[in-house]
Structure 1
Amino acid sequence: MSKLVTIFGGSGFVGRYVARRLAKNGWRVRVAVRRPNEAMHVKPYGVPGQVEPVLCNIRDDASVASVMNGSDAVVNCVGILAEVGKNSFDAVQADGAARVARIAAEQGVGQMVHLSAIGADADSESDYARTKAEGEAAVVAAFPKAVVLRPSIIFGPEDDFFNRFAGMMGPVLPLVGGETKFQPVYVDDVAQAAVLAVEGQAEPGIYELGGPDVRSMKELMHEMLSVIRRRKLIVNLPFFVGSLMGWSFDLVKKLSFGLIKGPITADQVKLLRKDNVVSDTSKGFADLGLTPSATEAVLPDYLWRFRPSGQYLAIKESAKNLRQS
């Protein structure tokens, strides 16, 4: 019988790519999510019954233990960019990660992969970065053979980065942290790294994953605008303005009981104060034998829908070059 892997958050942005690759490699895949009915898109990744969404609450021991039962490997892709209700940074990224690792060790799971993030720092002012670091520490303490992946900003067809900025209306594109450096990494490259770890082809430890290019937020926005063939004035807002905006949006969200969400939070502004790039001393793609994809090779494949004429723009541009007979 083929091996079984449980992927927590397996229907999300990164998790779905990990699930698809493992299913292709013959694994039975159990996708542990809060809302299985919204995760049916993962079922066609394999033959009938090979990939199955199951209900799981990462904040509950019994729930985590139940979906992990019989697994040969575990991948934790659960993470949040903003707190919602009981799903706080501490509950999900620190306590939740610790719970998955502890129960995996108790059940004798063979391999564990934990998805973290570059910038994880126990001393950070950002709750996101702090809890990422606390989650990492708990995972390694409970499951010393775990592989921890720290990607920079992840891009791909379902991302909430380039898609969000490309979809903004108006002639002005406001940015907070325009000079902050990033090393964007393609989502399927991160998935490849996770699969190697699941299949025992990666040494235990922390791997920082970044693409081939290091660019500022402002430079990335220029690239995005070039891909979608639009012109906008990019305005770099001071951090004190961003902090005020984030605090205001957080207040509105709280007063509306989460119904109204702003484009940025105060915690995200804190994150933007520091560069998000691979350190010189860390293990990375090279140690896994992988070559990451560049943004220029991928962005046109999914940002075309934001162009003035969408998929027909290339045809129109080509027609302009035809000589009049």
Structure 2
Amino acid sequence: MQTFDRLVTVYGGSGFVGRHVVRALARRGFRVRVAVRRPDLAGHLQPLGAVGQINAVQANLRYPDSVRHAAEGAEIVINCVGIMHETGRQKFDAVQARGAETVARAAAEAGAKLIHVSAIGADAEGEALYARSKAAGEAGVLRQQPGAVILRPSVIFGPEDDFFNRLAAMARMLPVLPLIGGGTTRFQPVFVGDVADAVMAAIDGKTTAGTVYELGGPAVKTFKEVVEFVLETIGRKRLLMSLPFGLAAFQAKFLQYVPGAPLTPDQVKLLKSDSVVSAGASADGRTLEGLGIGPKSIEAIAPSYLWRFRRHGQFTEQAQ
């Protein structure tokens, strides 16, 4: 019977990024402890590894004792926890700021190496609370673990993403799609599998301790270009309407209370800033390419899961 001697704890391992990190770890032969709020809802991770290789445990970043117990005995700790909007007691400060520091403290007490997944939008002076909480989380991580590796991805795409899938769902239902701020915000969409590979590179020692890496795909695209790509991919023609930030913020005040709302006021603020790899990170090699990873494009990956939004499924070719 195969044994898995090296233990890795992944906080948020059942989420979009986390499940891809868990899959990559399982393929590498690690024993994976998945720390999540609801272990009973993490059963979908079991097929990613061998029998007994992946184990879900209860941990909530708002409760330090649960976080500490989940880190005990781990050689490596990976924090993939993040939220795009606040719900109930899951607030940006609790999860992405104080929560990140709580994980770092637990990793330090366990003597584990820490890899923290943040976001390119992290900015202590940012207008969006999301951006400020991400920056506060990074600062807290480095206070507890000066040698931690921080990975900042741009907008992440993949089969379960909440960005391209949401745009495609809106295009299927609405005759007009809004371009917030004129659609000029720039993104550098990065494939979730490449983010997982960057985590593996950090585990392998290809990163420098205490350093921030910025992860972006091979191309920079404006919000308008992203929407146009989605429309072309799903074969639908829709009117694109420029929506000023002020009007978008006003509408978001009401949309944020709708279940599955496409927009919150904080997300409108976040769209005022680009999400691209900085010139400094590129020059220093603190990128996917610098880690020896060739980033995959949205054109190569996204059609493989967006086809379900076409009028006649994967057999639809022309825009309608």
Which amino acid is 1:170 matched to? Answer: L
Q: CA RMSD in A?
A: 1.3
**Corresponding position of 2:254:** 248
Mapping of 1:239-318 within 5 angstroms?
239-250=245-256, 253=257, 260-282=259-281, 283-313=286-316
**Corresponding position of 1:94:** 97
Which amino acid is 2:190 matched to? Answer: V
Which amino acid is 1:66 matched to? Answer: H
Of 170, 184, 194, the residue aligned with 2:189 is: 184
Partner Cα separation in structure 2 for residue 299 and residue 265 of structure 1: 25
**1:128 and 2:133 aligned:** no
**1:213 and 2:211 aligned:** no
TM-score, normalization by structure 1: 0.92
**Corresponding position of 1:57:** 60
Which amino acid is 1:171 matched to? Answer: P
Which amino acid is 1:203 matched to? Answer: T
TM-score, normalization by structure 2: 0.93
Partner Cα separation in structure 1 for residue 314 and residue 94 of structure 2: 43
Mapping of 1:63-82 within 5 angstroms?
63-82=66-85
Q: Which segments of 5 or more consecutive residues in structure 2 lack a partner in the other structure? A: none
Shift of 1:83: 0.7
**1:108 and 2:111 aligned:** yes
**1:231 and 2:243 aligned:** no
Q: Secondary structure at the match of 1:65?
A: helix
Q: Secondary structure at the match of 1:47?
A: coil
**Corresponding position of 1:156:** 158
Partner Cα separation in structure 1 for residue 259 and residue 155 of structure 2: 25
Identity score, percent: 52
Shift of 1:189: 0.3
Partner Cα separation in structure 1 for residue 49 and residue 308 of structure 2: 29
Shift of 1:261: 4.7
Contact 2:68 2:106 (C-alpha < 8 Å) held by counterparts: yes
Q: Secondary structure at the match of 2:315?
A: helix
Contact 2:13 2:22 (C-alpha < 8 Å) held by counterparts: yes
Deviates more, 1:170-179 or 1:86-95: 170-179
Partner Cα separation in structure 1 for residue 309 and residue 64 of structure 2: 43
Shift of 1:295: 0.7
Deviates more, 1:3-12 or 1:48-57: 48-57
- Higher-Rg member (1/2): 1
Partner Cα separation in structure 2 for residue 121 and residue 313 of structure 1: 42
Q: Secondary structure at the match of 1:121?
A: coil
Partner Cα separation in structure 2 for residue 278 and residue 197 of structure 1: 18
Q: Secondary structure at the match of 1:240?
A: helix
Shift of 1:249: 2.7
Contact 2:166 2:262 (C-alpha < 8 Å) held by counterparts: no
Which amino acid is 2:187 matched to? Answer: F
Partner Cα separation in structure 2 for residue 11 and residue 170 of structure 1: 31
